[in-house]
Amino acid sequence: MKVAIYAGTFDPITNGHIDILTKASKVFDKVILSVAKSTGKETIFSLEERCGLCEKSVAHNKKIEVMKFSGLVVDFAKKVNALIMIRGLRAVSDFEYELSLALMNKNLCDDLETVFFVPENKYLYLSSTMIREVVALGGDVSGFIPECVEKALKKKLKIED
């Protein structure tokens, strides 16, 4: 069984993330959406909230499993017997950062390979940070995040519909 992991903060998960997961699930037997406890970023949602939103958002795809982790992603990959790390590339500006991550992970675990997926054009510029900012300023993000995520984000930011 070919197991891949897609690790990140997912604060919140977006349709761009889901697009990458869907593409990966067509290539691998199982994709573990790995929600990081701590990444050095300050999150708006707790780990449990992020996991719950991820689970609701990918429930339709039985090849995707949501798991939380802490520590090094390479250690988590070993624990779940994953040999593939999924990463999304939105723009050339992502490449340098993603390449350095892939090289460090390869240095830490020689068996771990990184596979890059590119999201659909309509999601190329999306980021969780951008989604949080647009919602906070009253913008419409309904086409870019699952409905459950939009509701949770508006509730968290105390924005009325």
Give me the active site residues, please: 17, 41, 90, 128
**Dihedral through CA 82, CA 83, CA 84, CA 85, nearest 10?**
70
Separation of alpha carbons 159 and 56, rounded Å: 21
CA distances from 43 to 9, 57, 117, 121, 138 (A): 8, 18, 25, 26, 20
Residues 12, 58, 56: CA angle, nearest 5 degrees: 70
Separation of alpha carbons 37 and 140, rounded Å: 28
| DSSP state at residue 41 | S
Separation of alpha carbons 49 and 65, rounded Å: 16
